[in-house]
Amino acid sequence: MVHERVMEKLAILSDAAKYDVSCSSGQSNRKNKDKGLGNSSGSGICHSYTEDGRCVALLKILLTNHCIFDCAYCVSRKSNDVKRAAFTVQEVVDLTIGFYRRNYIEGLFLSSGIFDNPDFTMERLVRIAKKLRLEHNFNGYIHLKAIPGASDELLKEAGMYADRLSVNVEMPTEQSLKLLAPEKNHSDVMKPMHYLKNEIAGHKEERKLNFKAPLFAPAGQSTQMVIGATKESDLEILGMADYFYQQMNMRRVYYSGYVPISYDNRLPAIGTPVPIIRENRLYQADWLIRYYGFNVNEIVGFDQPNLDLDIDPKLGWALRNLNQFPVDINTADLELIKRIPGIGFLSAKKIVAARKFKKLTATDLQKMGIAYSRAKYFLAFASPFQLQKDFTAIQIKDHILDAQKSKYQNDFSNQLSLFGT
């Protein structure tokens, strides 16, 4: 009977947790010690993909979906007529350990609605992490939600046991937050973010001097923005993300396409498609900002505040800046090579390393596995150079999109022929 009740809670609280996407793993190196349980090494744990593309499993649940707030975009808001449940601290600990021992999961992602008040909720989240670490010697990955409004003391304790902490900003602008969650404001979110940023930096410094100093949220902090519930442009969204990266040392910003869940005239109607492609384009743009040296204003601007949904943002930038091309990959800087559509971060590094030994040709690039059919329009090899010079940005875009379409058609026909149809 008790088991059934816990399973029922698990069904309710794992379903409610699925809207929070801020849980891709961080890079935490918590080694197994004292014959403990688990080992969060390398890129850590996540329910979907780590930052290096590894797929790992994570127990992703809410402690409770009771909430004193009524944020219109949230399935757990107090006015929503849904089944409610709350785990006890011990239930979450037992579930985590039980699933871990059965090899179902490699870590825990624990968020929560806010029952009673932020400290009351945060204290329980901390207690779970503390029990796992201290009583069960659990060294697997733990990601805890930092509840806005919780005391600094509790946040500090949370950081001692969790690998990652996240405070979700949810709405990209204060205006939207006021519209959909009038009881909240952005400063409630910024305050814990600031606190965590300083604590993380302080502990890192301390560990440089003394490697025995305690870890504090070694996988850093992350946040999530809901996309498509309100009217913000990609310029505003990426501007906010950039602020988090620059000012809060955020490890990751997650973009969660809004899923219409109930009727509310402030929100898109039920049945409005979830903006998946936009979400993908935002992740691509985010990647360009973090790893490719792009500024937000090079990707979106006041003249074009939204990302092109047809093409990825790097190609979009290249087409708007044809004067920077063609690029001679045998002499160009690494930074410029990284900006060539079809050439990724690692391939650019390979090119720079390989050209020390020989003059690279188109064939060499193809062997390296770059997306040559895309890159060729931007490279200074004889024939593609001619191609690039002869084409306008619109023509290049059309060629690339046509090639992409026929590639998918061919792949699809090949799959059909495999099945003998």
Indicate the residue among 74 and 225 with the shorter CB distance to ligand SF4.
74
**Residue of 378, 382, 381, 228 whose CA lies nearest to 316:** 378
Query: What stretch of H or E contains 108?
Result: strand 107-111
Altogether, the residues listed in the chain come to a count of 421
Q: Which is nearer to ligand SF4, 67 or 375 (CB)?
A: 67
Q: How far apart are CA 259 and CA 268, in angstroms?
A: 9
CA atoms of 230 and 69, how far apart (whole Å): 19
Minimum Å distance from CB 114 to ligand SF4? 5
Collapsing DSSP to helix, strand or coil, 224 comes out as strand
Q: Are 23 and 7 in contact (CB under 8 A)?
A: no
Question: Long-range contacts of range 305-309, CB-CB < 8 Å, 24 or more positions apart?
Answer: 305/233, 305/234, 305/235, 305/236, 306/233, 306/234, 306/235, 307/234, 307/278, 307/281, 307/282, 308/281, 309/277, 309/278, 309/281
Q: Give the nearest distance from C-beta 283 to ligand SF4 in angstroms.
A: 22
Contact status, residue 188 vs residue 194, Cβ threshold 8 Å: no
Instruction: Specify whether the CB–CB gap between 109 and 59 falls below 8 A.
Output: yes
Q: Tell me whether residue 27 or residue 76 sits nearer to ligand SF4 (CB atom).
A: 76
Question: Rounded to the nearest whole angstrom, what is the least distance from the CB of residue 20 to ligand SF4 in the complex?
Answer: 9
Q: How far is the CB of 169 from ligand SF4 (least distance, A)?
A: 11
Q: Tell me the closest approach of the beta carbon of residue 163 to ligand SF4, in angstroms.
A: 22
Q: Cβ closer to ligand SF4: 113 or 341? A: 113
CA distance 270 to 264: 9
Smallest distance, Å, CB 255 to ligand SF4? 16
Residue placing its CB nearer to ligand SF4 in the complex, 17 or 235:
17
Shortest Å distance, C-beta 224 to ligand SF4: 10
Specify the residue, 71 or 122, whose C-beta has the smaller distance to ligand SF4: 71
Smaller CB distance to ligand SF4: residue 64 or 96?
64
Footprint on this chain of ligand SF4 (rule: CB under 6 A): 67, 69, 71, 74, 76-77, 113-114, 181
